[in-house]
Amino acid sequence: MSLPSFINWIDDQQSHMVQTTRDWSNINSGSHNLAGLSHMAKTLTVAFAPTGGEVEILASDPMEITDGYGDISKIELGPILRITKRPHANRRVLLCGHMDTVFGQDHPFQVCRAPKDGEMHGPGTADMKGGIMVMLMALLAFEKSSECANLGWQVVINSDEEIGSFGSARVLKEAAVAAHAGMLYEPSMPDGTLAGARKGSGNFTVTVKGRAAHAGREHHLGRNAIAATAQIISFLDGLSGKRQGFTVNVGQITGGGALNVVPDLAQVRFNVRLEAIDDQAWLLKQMDQFLNIANDQDGIHAALSGGFSRPPKPMTPELDRLFALAASCGDDLGISITHVATGGCCDGNNLAAAGLANIDTLGVRGANIHSDQEYMITESLTERAKLSALILHRLAQTSENFFSKEAK
């Protein structure tokens, strides 16, 4: 099948895409760097203006956090960029990305190096500033398509994906409900393999309070919060494998102070991954039962905070159909499109929970994300932009029956 002319236009944008992605990578936009995220949002506002969509910068909702004493407070998060075009079209696609990275202002990994041997190392190059560039070029190319008037689209780029998307959850859900299909720009595997089904995820904290006492004179009067927390940690670790695909990772332990004082405060923070949505209620029941036992100990009080931010994302007939379309577009471009299940999760989980079938790894090919060895494969910028542009083109061409979801 002959390819539309705008596909060749994307090839001519390679050097611009590389340089702009490098510029974006050099803007620190760690999830808690509000100034950097504001700078990034303004930069992206200018970059997306040529698409002709209506550009808005929205405020995120505050995020609840648990401090070292178990107290819950709210913190401000960075902005959300939303761009909308043809919102009343009969077919609508939601394209999502995130401008935040895991690298804060104090992280040593701050500089994006010039491309070498087909790779470009830098913070967020793969996850996912390169992906945002792919999204942008795909949209610019699609707007050159003779079919573009048939398809409406909306872009949502949030600032808190790396910390659970609590502040942008409401906007993401509203956008998902209004769309027929979703395209997200997390990086694919280095060989181009995409993510299919995804596990769900939740982050939790157990804060244990005991009673301080002199470790020598009055040890018997103390109630050791660390010792009680150790029992909880052993229980948590033993939950892994109790359900199919269910794991608990104890990621952080804090507590105690001077060695001659019985510690009266300790915390354990942990992450849960699960394949089945029913496992959410199962975990909470297990935790409630065990913490009731822990709290029966004299002078010990243990409290659970946190929650599930991303439900599991299973394969569905609608998602299978969307992957088949992507694979067909890949065949026309000479790209093999395959997918595998993964334990990772992203905003694609949230959109799927709202009823929107979505492919969530349409970004660049890359690796070593969340580390100072992160890189993207530079040729994948145009490669993946062509794939997304062609998917949009085909969605604009296809009959409305392709979209089984009723958007609002």
Domains plus CATH for the chain?
A: 6-197+314-402 (3.40.630.10), 200-310 (3.30.70.360)
- Which pTM value belongs to this model? 0.94
Helix (H) or strand (E) segment spanning residue 278:
helix 278-294
Residue 168 backbone dihedrals phi, psi, to 5 degrees: -110, 0
* CA distances, 311 to each of 67, 94, 308 (Å): 25, 19, 7
At residue 377, the pLDDT reads 98
Residue 320 backbone dihedrals phi, psi, to 5 degrees: -60, -40
Going 314 to 135 to 62 to 269, the CA torsion angle's sign is: positive
Q: DSSP 3-state helix, strand, coil percentages of the chain (rounded to 5)?
A: 35, 25, 35
- The amino acid present at 114, given as its one-letter code, is A
At residue 2, the pLDDT reads 79
How many angstroms separate the CA atoms of 375 and 368, rounded? Answer: 7
Pairing mode of beta strands 91-98, 181-184: parallel
* CA distances, 302 to each of 121, 130, 375 (Å): 44, 43, 42
Give pLDDT tens digits along the chain (408 positions).
579 999 999 999 999 999 999 999 999 999 999 999 999 999 999 999 999 999 999 999 999 999 999 999 999 999 999 999 999 999 999 999 999 999 999 999 999 999 999 999 999 999 999 999 999 999 999 999 999 999 999 999 999 999 999 999 999 999 999 999 999 999 999 999 999 999 999 999 999 999 999 999 999 999 999 999 999 999 999 999 999 999 999 999 999 999 999 999 999 999 999 999 999 999 999 999 999 999 999 999 999 999 999 999 999 999 999 999 999 999 999 999 999 999 999 999 999 999 999 999 999 999 999 999 999 999 999 999 999 999 999 999 987 667 777 777
How many angstroms separate the CA atoms of 54 and 338, rounded? Answer: 34
Place of tokens 């061409």: 397
* CA distances, 278 to each of 215, 281, 319, 326 (Å): 45, 6, 21, 31
* 294: CB partners within 8 A, 6+ apart: 208, 228, 231, 232, 300, 302
> What one-character DSSP code corresponds to residue 151?
E
How many angstroms separate the CA atoms of 42 and 271, rounded? Answer: 33
What token pair was written down for 195? 């993510």
User: Peptide bond preceding 128: is omega within 30 degrees of 0, i.e. cis?
Assistant: yes
At residue 399, the pLDDT reads 72
Going 212 to 218 to 222 to 225, the CA torsion angle's sign is: positive
How many angstroms separate the CA atoms of 28 and 6, rounded? Answer: 33
Residue 78 backbone dihedrals phi, psi, to 5 degrees: -75, 175
At residue 406, the pLDDT reads 73
Residues in the chain: 408
Judge whether 313 and 345 are in contact, CB under 8 Å: yes
